[in-house]
Amino acid sequence: MRYMPTADQDKETARPAAQRRSQYRDILAQCVLLTLRELFGADEFGVLDSVALNGFVDDNDPATGRRAQVFLATVMATRSAFSTLNLELVNAVDCLVDGLRGQLSARPDQRAAVRPGRLPSNVGSGVASHGGDDEEPDLYEMDPIEFESLVAELFRAMGMQAVTTQRSNDGGVDVDAVDPTPIRGGKIVVQVKRYRNTVPPTAVRDLYGTVQSVGANKGVLVTTSGFGPGSHNFANGKPLELVSGAELVDLLHRHGLRGRRGDAGHGAAPQHAAPHVPDPGGDDHYVLGMSWSGDVALDVCAMVCCGNRVLSDDHFVFFNNPRTPDGSVCTVADNSHDKAAIRVAFDAIPRAADRLVLVAAIDPSVNPQADLAGFTDASIRLLDTTGAEVDRLSVSDGRPGETALVLGSFRRRASSDWEFVAGGKGYTGGLGSMIQEYGVTVS
């Protein structure tokens, strides 16, 4: 409103559309934050762990023209995250979208809808926890059918349609899901593995076969444990997604569901047990069998590293130090099918390490004048405990003048799984110059 003294009257002037939209979004965000504050504030006994909140208007849906609830805002807020906010100083829109990872319509004035995170109809009666019971269910101890129901509930909480399959004739599918998102959505088949040990690559291969046989857009394998590098390398480039136990617990908590893996994250005191030294004949290792063309004699070595620094000189495995102190990485002398081999128990590699680096270098005692020009067609065979080849990893060829080469590294993901990253960096100063770069003491 603007007062016009010559006419002694007020004149209305419309605000610019962009300004109106910005103010509308800010008010909507403030309403959501206020509602969350009132809900958590009214919970005097602290029984609310998280709140799923959707804001909608009753209007004609622009997409259908029919009367409907048009959702303009949605958020899943945990008490721990909300309690850290200083609401007097936040920008409401930034706080809702970035701070709480909620969604807010970009054009609420035009009823541009967002997908609600959770709806009351999506809450399964046997899955959601209520009341003052602070005991999170142990995923390892869950009944298999209840665990599958929990995974289906998670998919529904993520905005998908999901149902568990019948126990017989399910074709290897535990949960059928549909992602309604245009273009990237579609039919998803889900397999659930309530394991304590690493999921074998054969399970990932079976899932891929199921995806192809049923014509699904995507396959998801969910487990309480983890996956080895063979599984990740097979899934790479395929319509497959692998969800480890750590990622599963994080997704459950982010979407208002509950679950833990044993005593992890449950307030239990850490157990200072003796380090696990894998049995060379046990069931928790892979063998990395290496081969190449040419008659050049090479030493193949491994370094257990954090970044580009070896944990200690004892974590450099080569002919004079055939195993790490914990036994998680060791050389294999009796592998007749490969030119060199290393046995690795990935689950036993120290938590301080985030990669296992594999290198090859000219053996100066056999070929003092040689270089890596004859190192071609190289590969690493990934063998499981039965000796079956689960994957074959290609590595870079050598180049004239180089006498040492980084073949590649297995890197620990945030989920604690491992994936292979090819190398290729060469050195002209032999093994000594290479390992010095990684912090190994050369005498």
What is the rounded average pLDDT of the residues 23-47? 92
> What is the rounded CA–CA span in Å between residue 210 and residue 227?
19
**Of the ranges 64-68, 260-264, 365-369, the best mean pLDDT one:** 64-68
Q: What is the 3-state secondary structure (H, E, C) of 79-105?
A: HHHHHCCCCCCCCHHHHHHHHCCCEEC
User: What is the pLDDT of the chain when averaged over all its residues?
Assistant: 82
What is the rounded average pLDDT of the residues 55-78? 86
Distance of CA 426 to the CA centre of its chain: 31
What is the rounded average pLDDT of the residues 305-317? 89
Q: What is the largest CA-CA distance in the chain?
A: 104
Question: Mean pLDDT lowest for which of 57-71, 283-297, 396-410?
Answer: 283-297
What's the confidence (pLDDT) of residue 335?
66
Fold held by 139-254: Trna Endonuclease; Chain: A, domain 1 (3.40.1350)
- Model pLDDT for residues 367-395, shown as the tens digit of each residue: 778 888 878 888 888 888 778 888 888 88
Burial (CB count <10 Å: 0-12, 13-18, 19+), residue 168: exposed
pLDDT for 168 beyond 70 = no
User: Could you tell me where in the chain the CATH 2.60.60.30 domains are found?
Assistant: 286-437
Question: Mean pLDDT lowest for which of 70-84, 161-175, 226-240?
Answer: 161-175
Kindly tell me the number of DSSP H helices and DSSP E strands found in the chain.
8, 22
What is the rounded average pLDDT of the residues 150-162? 86
* Whole-Å CA distances, 412 to 232, 304, 306, 409, 417: 11, 11, 10, 10, 6
pLDDT for 416 beyond 80 = no
pLDDT for 271 beyond 60 = no
pLDDT for 280 beyond 50 = no
What is the rounded average pLDDT of the residues 78-89? 88
Fold held by 286-437: Lipoxygenase-1 (2.60.60)
* Whole-Å CA distances, 59 to 23, 69, 112, 120: 20, 6, 11, 20
pLDDT for 130 beyond 60 = no
User: Could you tell me where in the chain the CATH 3.40.1350.10 domains are found?
Assistant: 139-254
Measured distance between the N- and C-terminal CA atoms of the chain, rounded to whole angstroms: 84
What's the confidence (pLDDT) of residue 25?
93
192-231 exposure pattern, b = at least 16 Cβ within 10 A, e = fewer? bbbeeebbbbebbbebbebbeeeebebbbbbbbbbbbbbb
pLDDT band at 190 (very low <50, low <70, confident <90, very high): very high
- Model pLDDT for residues 335-355, shown as the tens digit of each residue: 667 888 999 988 889 888 999
Map tokens 């049923």 to a residue.
Answer: 214
pLDDT for 38 beyond 90 = yes
What's the confidence (pLDDT) of residue 265?
45
What's the confidence (pLDDT) of residue 191?
92
What's the confidence (pLDDT) of residue 266?
44
What's the confidence (pLDDT) of residue 264?
55
> What is the rounded CA–CA span in Å between residue 197 and residue 38?
44
Cβ atoms within 10 Å of 435's Cβ, excluding its own: 23
